[in-house]
A and B are shown apart, each in its own frame.
Chain A
């Protein structure tokens, strides 16, 4: 079954996107990417610590991977735009996951600031993937502004609460033409499978893999779940009807003549 997944013109080999934060050891990042055959990988941009220099995360991300820097740390559109431009200047491509968070308690995104950043960065030629609270009007505006995909949260970042936004994401899948990628909150592979079953294009997982006792096997489990969910989605166009059928025919009048 051919099932090609593209974002803009780039063909993506895996529907499991990996966040690289919170790993106990950077070397695990590479092992996880290899084991789960991850393609799209998220990184963040930070000030270099001049006192204690660390190895660079890029050393652990194979070159074939698609790098998706995020704008974490940004509290406003302006800051997100600045971070995005810095990220592009590294020469690691023009993808950017826009993440604007002004709420430190729940780490929920600020959709309005995110939209403003999408408008500017998409116009500058970035491949923009905004991380948002699943609001359909906002998503539409972002797509109109040039977003390449929409990444609604499953539940708050790092909360491990699972796929709580299902109903809103379902509407998004129906109404939004760009890929919908559930990002944040997924704790277990079954939740990732659920996202894929209803038609998400991909999921992004970080905490659940990075903080698992065995990150490599957890990544593998997520990867299998994503694949299983996708296959289920593709083959679920079941014949049959999922609504009650009235007992009396509605088109009887056509044969009365």
Chain B
């Protein structure tokens, strides 16, 4: 069954009732199981699981070390363009924000690449806003062709593409696709995606699968925490990741759980997600998806990132900027960021922190063939 069909089997009210009905006693059983079912995931994400976070943390830590070792992969985002024709209620790049728009020229891309690769990073995530006119696939391809001389792994986070377009970029040299559904609840999705191509829920939902059919090596799905009840949202995202893992056995599937951050013209309807909630989310994800990559954004504070490290995180960004050209060009003063960065440490500082915690920072973990 396609994931769309799996999603349809659930409705919000049923799920809410299920969350309330779980027995916390089950947690002890669940963490000693070999393979978890969707009902187990519900238990791990339920309010009743809160008293068991330490127990879950021990299990999550053990699984993380078993599957990944004491290793954290580092990458940094590179914003190519913030032109965007979507109106997403929560985003700093939304079309009606009259912010200064910027798109890197190819020589600026090269300059950013030189700067970033000099820090030692070999994994990069390139991002664009949603504008097929200003940042068409051909432009992304040109950027990839420049970047592949500097980086051994290039992932994209951009608007949803067709399978053929993904294949085109894979041929050009990308190996990862990050595409967040942001919110799995269709009603909330429609409410926050007011205008633009991103309104098409199903086209976005199937994007990761199209990229995987096209042969991508790593696909990363995610929810933007704060748009809807997080238990429900994380449940669906984890099910999505699990579905992709089973369907594409040779691919690596990653998950991300960014918490919404204020930006220009604040989005007022944020449903709060506490540090404790975020901790529970990461633990549940690690236990349910032992081999999935889990990414932790610089939206989170340095302290929280450090604390969560042992609980399942496998990838963190360093030296991040969410401004176009933010690594080398001084546009920050008059340009909007997509969101605010809390952890402003550079690559060297992050490396030092990891080593202190006896983790090995990995800047490059594979070579393009």
Q: Report which of B25, B31, B276 forms a contact with A241, defined as CB distance below 8 A.
A: B31
Please tell me if B96 contacts chain A, counting CB pairs below 8 Å.
no
**Interface 9-mer from A185-193, A221-229, A247-255:** A247-255
B29 adjacent to A237 (CB under 8 Å) = yes
Please tell me if B177 contacts chain A, counting CB pairs below 8 Å.
no
Q: Report which of B35, B53, B61, B62 forms a contact with A254, defined as CB distance below 8 A.
A: B53
Nearest Cβ on chain B to A156's Cβ, whole angstroms: 27
Set of chain A residues within 8 Å of B304, measured between Cβ atoms: 253
Set of chain A residues within 8 Å of B149, measured between Cβ atoms: none
A239 adjacent to B57 (CB under 8 Å) = no
Q: Report which of A170, A238, A250 forms a contact with B54, defined as CB distance below 8 A.
A: A250
Set of chain B residues within 8 Å of A238, measured between Cβ atoms: 29, 32
Which size class do A's interface residues fall under? 20 to 34
In the complex formed, the residue of A with least CB distance to B54 is: A251
Q: How far is the CA of A245 from the CA of B35 in the complex (A)?
A: 20
B54 adjacent to A239 (CB under 8 Å) = no
Set of chain B residues within 8 Å of A246, measured between Cβ atoms: 58, 61
A242 adjacent to B32 (CB under 8 Å) = yes
A249 adjacent to B32 (CB under 8 Å) = no
Please tell me if A140 contacts chain B, counting CB pairs below 8 Å.
yes
Q: How far is the CA of A95 from the CA of B307 in the complex (A)?
A: 56
Q: How far is the CA of A242 from the CA of B54 in the complex (A)?
A: 15
B:276-313 near A, CB below 8 Å: 276, 279, 303-304, 307, 310-311
B275 adjacent to A254 (CB under 8 Å) = yes
Nearest Cβ on chain B to A27's Cβ, whole angstroms: 44
Please tell me if B249 contacts chain A, counting CB pairs below 8 Å.
yes
A:107-143 near B, CB below 8 Å: 137, 140
B53 adjacent to A251 (CB under 8 Å) = yes
Please tell me if A89 contacts chain B, counting CB pairs below 8 Å.
no
Set of chain A residues within 8 Å of B276, measured between Cβ atoms: 254
A251 adjacent to B32 (CB under 8 Å) = no
B28 adjacent to A243 (CB under 8 Å) = no
In the complex formed, the residue of A with least CB distance to B57 is: A250
In the complex formed, the residue of B with least CB distance to A170 is: B34
Please tell me if B357 contacts chain A, counting CB pairs below 8 Å.
no
A:166-187 near B, CB below 8 Å: 170, 174-175
Nearest Cβ on chain A to B52's Cβ, whole angstroms: 10
Please tell me if A4 contacts chain B, counting CB pairs below 8 Å.
no
Q: How far is the CA of A238 from the CA of B27 in the complex (A)?
A: 11
B:305-346 near A, CB below 8 Å: 307, 310-311
Nearest Cβ on chain B to A46's Cβ, whole angstroms: 40
Please tell me if B59 contacts chain A, counting CB pairs below 8 Å.
yes
Please tell me if B55 contacts chain A, counting CB pairs below 8 Å.
yes
Q: Which 7 A-B pairs have the closest CB atoms?
A: A250-B57, A253-B307, A239-B28, A174-B35, A237-B29, A251-B57, A251-B54
Contacts from B to A (Cβ < 8 Å): 25, 28-29, 31-35, 53-55, 57-59, 61-62, 249, 275-276, 279, 303-304, 307, 310-311
For the complex with contacts A249-B54, A251-B279, 5 further pairs of A-B residues with Cβ separation under 8 Å are: A170-B34, A241-B32, A246-B61, A250-B61, A254-B276
Q: Pick 15 A–B contacts, CB within 8 A, sort by A.
A: A237-B29, A238-B32, A239-B28, A239-B29, A240-B28, A240-B32, A241-B28, A241-B58, A243-B59, A250-B54, A250-B57, A250-B310, A251-B279, A253-B303, A253-B307
